[in-house]
């Protein structure tokens, strides 16, 4: 496989893998490894979101068993939901400490993050936040977090901790990106080849008040990390991405879109309750539109990390 050119904007890239990429089950040309991986992946794969939930007693001091249960789920599905026993507190140290106990600590500080690099996801009616959908009541289509980041600062894991759910709506769909990869590869391995090209998609530059916040960024959709794991960068929001102008890439991105719009058994759907949090290796997710209760507004804390959980 030809490795994508990391480019000056990207710095050191996980694409320069120390594992033999051609031996990876995620390589488009390795049928044997892929089929073995697929069989193992689908064996006992959870069928409902309830199977992803791990009750935890004290989030600041997880027991060995709680950690093991969370990590086992993450290994299988790239996601797990902790469910804290007791009242939900407005305390950002809870998700931060859960992250530390799960081995992640390199937080990405985006422009809307609070000083501690966690972001309060809530409806904001003024300032910089108003131009970004997460701080409104609108729904958000399929994406992985930080798809617009440079490749040297990829978001490999994420925590979404719920303090107060929306009065109405604000649900999430969750899709293990490895399953999306699997379904796309089953359709045509060449689609994977196209989606791994270093110029498969370009995220247009972001200019605010005449100031360049972020330049155009090109990169692949699927990447194999140096640990041999699969990473995905994606947005279904058409205005946020320019797909490579060739037939195969266009067909591949349409096939992926169709897969994500299908209702398959591997898709999880639910709403985080107060005191619950999603821990994930940046899986594909959506958010439905919601109605806020002004006296009890929706509040979630989000942490994005440069490390994978497991």
Only one of the segments 21-29, 117-125, 145-153, 228-236 lies at the binding site for Fe ion (rule: CB under 5 A); that segment is 145-153
Instruction: Lay out the site mask for Fe ion across 277-296 (x = CB under 5 A, - = otherwise).
Output: --------------------
Q: How far is the CB of 25 from Fe ion (least distance, A)?
A: 26
**Binder to Fe ion among 96, 145, 176, 292 (CB under 5 A)?**
145
Between 108 and 145, CB nearer to Fe ion: 145
Only one of the segments 47-55, 144-152, 221-229, 232-240 lies at the binding site for Fe ion (rule: CB under 5 A); that segment is 144-152
* Site for Fe ion, residues 196 to 255, rule: CB under 5 A: none
Between 92 and 143, CB nearer to Fe ion: 143
Q: How far is the CB of 227 from Fe ion (least distance, A)?
A: 23
Strands (E), 64-156: 79-84, 119-121, 140-143
Q: Are 168 and 291 in contact (CB under 8 A)?
A: yes
Q: How far is the CB of 135 from Fe ion (least distance, A)?
A: 12
Q: Where are the alpha helices (DSSP H) in 127-235?
A: 177-187, 189-195
Q: Please give the structure tokens belonging to residue 60.
A: 């600041």
Q: Are 279 and 159 in contact (CB under 8 A)?
A: yes
82 Cα distance to chain centroid: 17
Q: How far is the CB of 210 from Fe ion (least distance, A)?
A: 28
Query: Using CB atoms, what's the residue nearest to Fe ion?
Result: 145
Instruction: Lay out the site mask for Fe ion across 40-79 (x = CB under 5 A, - = otherwise).
Output: ----------------------------------------
Q: How far is the CB of 304 from Fe ion (least distance, A)?
A: 9
Q: Please give the structure tokens belonging to residue 179.
A: 């399953």
Between 25 and 219, CB nearer to Fe ion: 219
Between 4 and 303, CB nearer to Fe ion: 303
Task: Report d(CA 303, CA 204) in Å as an integer.
Answer: 24
Total number of residues that touch Fe ion (CB under 5 A) = 1
Between 145 and 176, CB nearer to Fe ion: 145
Task: Report d(CA 255, CA 236) in Å as an integer.
Answer: 12
Strands (E), 127-219: 140-143, 157-164, 168-169, 172-175, 201-203, 206-208, 211-214, 217-219
| 3-state SS, residue 165 | coil
Surface-to-core class of residue 9, CB atoms within 10 Å of its CB (0-12 exposed, 13-18 middle, 19+ buried)? middle
76: closest CA among 102, 47, 97?
A: 47
* Residue 108 touches Fe ion, criterion: CB under 5 A: no
Q: How far is the CB of 38 from Fe ion (least distance, A)?
A: 27
Residues at the contact surface with Fe ion, assessed by CB under 5 A: 145
């Amino acid at each position: 496989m030809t490795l994508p050119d990391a480019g000056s904007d990207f710095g050191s890239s996980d694409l320069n893998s120390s594992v033999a990429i051609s031996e990876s089950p995620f390589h488009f040309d390795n049928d044997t490894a892929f089929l073995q991986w697929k069989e193992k992946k689908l064996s006992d794969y959870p069928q409902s979101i309830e199977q992803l939930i791990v009750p935890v007693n004290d989030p600041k001091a997880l027991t060995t068993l709680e950690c093991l249960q969370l990590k086992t789920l993450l290994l299988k599905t790239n996601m797990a939901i902790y469910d804290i026993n007791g009242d939900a507190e407005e305390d950002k140290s809870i998700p931060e400490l859960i992250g530390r106990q799960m081995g992640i600590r390199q937080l990405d500080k985006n422009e809307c993050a609070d000083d501690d690099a966690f972001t309060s996801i809530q409806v904001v009616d003024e300032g910089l936040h108003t131009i970004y959908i997460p701080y409104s009541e609108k729904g958000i289509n399929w994406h992985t977090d930080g798809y617009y980041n440079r490749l040297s600062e990829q978001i490999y894991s994420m925590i979404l901790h719920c303090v107060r759910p929306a009065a109405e709506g604000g649900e999430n769909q969750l899709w293990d990106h490895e399953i999306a990869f699997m379904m796309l590869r089953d359709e045509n391995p060449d689609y994977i080849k196209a989606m791994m090209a270093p110029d498969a998609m370009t995220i247009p530059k972001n200019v605010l008040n005449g100031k360049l916040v972020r330049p155009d960024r090109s990169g692949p959709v699927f990447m194999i990390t140096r640990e041999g794991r699969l990473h995905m960068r994606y947005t279904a929001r058409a205005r946020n991405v320019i797909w490579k102008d060739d037939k195969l890439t266009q067909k591949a991105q349409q096939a992926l879109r169709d897969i994500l719009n299908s209702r398959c058994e591997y898709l999880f759907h639910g709403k985080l309750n107060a005191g619950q949090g999603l821990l994930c290796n940046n899986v594909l997710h959506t958010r439905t539109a919601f109605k806020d209760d002004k006296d009890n507004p929706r509040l979630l804390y989000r942490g994005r990390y440069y490390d994978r959980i497991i």
